Structure 1
Amino acid sequence: MRFFPLALSAAALAVAIVPVAPAQAAALPVIQITKIYYNSPGSPDNGANVSLNGEWAQLKNTTRKAINLRGWTLRDKTKAADHVYMFGAFTLGAGKTVTVRTGKGKDTATTRHWGRAGGTFAYIWNQTSDAGFVRDPLGKLVDSCSYNSSRVAWVDCR
């Protein structure tokens, strides 16, 4: 019994000097909105395709595996059905980024096009405040990014 207080003191000291790990940072979403360029160069204008394609959102696969994005959606906070971009057959490689442009163009492994046209009403991202949302095929929110500024043309969402 004589050694019990000493053993208890040693145990207390050992606990006291064990480094405490900081709270674990929130895990990155598997698909992350990294940037929204909401004020295309030269806008407001007449909604020409070059200006529409100057408006875009970038999504990054933060995992070490390719992800099939068929059925995934990107949208702004507007409830309009035509403000939803749905990925068709498209796989985003591990660690890769895809840019979704508002206008029309040829889709590639790094760029997709919303296909919008029709003048100034074709823009997706509001120039002063809006939010982007990425959902998986089941409709589960995977990531979002919002902004509230007309002083800059884009927001870094990382």
Structure 2
Amino acid sequence: MVATAAALTLAAPAQAAAPTVKISRIWYDSPGSPDSGANSSLNGEYVQIKNTGRSAVNLAGWTVRDKTTRADHVYTFGTFTLRAGKTVTLRTGTGRDTSTTLHWGRSGGGTFAYIWNQSKDTGYLHNARGQLVDSCSYNSSRYDYKNC
């Protein structure tokens, strides 16, 4: 009977490990006029990526995108390491990058400069091999952000 129980345990399907790098928040309704395209309003729109693991993760070549297929709605990480337990905020506008804040580099152009739709959208995080690591969807105009 012990051999049968052991065989059943070994035959059980393996559970996929939860990603250690994930989208933790999307702030999609930035303050200011949504048509202005002002840098302060663009930077009020952001996505946060958190490393919940115990080791630093090299994000070089990883991408963040929204649901649209527009090529200009893809952010590719350059040389960047996300330390264990830390979060990086990726702001839509322009600015000086730091160890905790990066900038997509979008500017001007009114509503076309924004990435995140104000009523519903999905954010996708892919690793450098193009594999989907995490996603976060929202479908609400009741809030300004979505905790994922």
Which of the five TM-score ranges fits, normalised by the shorter chain?
A: 0.7 to 0.9
Which segments of 5 or more consecutive residues in structure 1 lack a partner in the other structure?
A: 1-23
Q: Does 1:83 align with 2:88?
A: no
4+ runs of 1 displaced by more than 2 Å? 24-28
| Displacement of 1:31 | 1.0
What is the TM-score of this pair, normalised by structure 1?
Answer: 0.82
Q: Does 1:141 align with 2:129?
A: no
- Looking at structure 1, the residues matched to 145 and 17 of structure 2 have their Cα atoms a distance apart, in angstroms, of 24
Q: Does 1:125 align with 2:116?
A: yes
- Looking at structure 1, the residues matched to 79 and 16 of structure 2 have their Cα atoms a distance apart, in angstroms, of 30
Amino acid at match of 1:133: Y
Q: How does 1:6-155 map to 2 (within 5 A)?
A: 27-118=17-108, 119-155=110-146
| Displacement of 1:53 | 0.0
What is the TM-score of this pair, normalised by structure 2?
Answer: 0.87
- Looking at structure 2, the residues matched to 110 and 27 of structure 1 have their Cα atoms a distance apart, in angstroms, of 26
Give the fraction of aligned pairs with identical amino acids, expressed as a percent: 66
> Secondary structure in 1 aligned to 2:32?
coil
* CA offset digits 1:17-50 (Å, max 9, x no partner): xxxxxxx997431211000000001232311000
Amino acid at match of 1:61: N
Contact 1:28–1:62 under 8 Å retained in 2: no
* CA offset digits 1:113-149 (Å, max 9, x no partner): 0000122210000000000000001100000000000
- Looking at structure 2, the residues matched to 33 and 95 of structure 1 have their Cα atoms a distance apart, in angstroms, of 13
- Looking at structure 2, the residues matched to 37 and 43 of structure 1 have their Cα atoms a distance apart, in angstroms, of 15
How many residues in Structure 1 have an aligned counterpart in Structure 2?
137
Which segments of 5 or more consecutive residues in structure 2 lack a partner in the other structure?
A: 1-13
> Secondary structure in 2 aligned to 1:74?
strand
CA RMSD of aligned residues (A): 1.9
Amino acid at match of 1:143: D
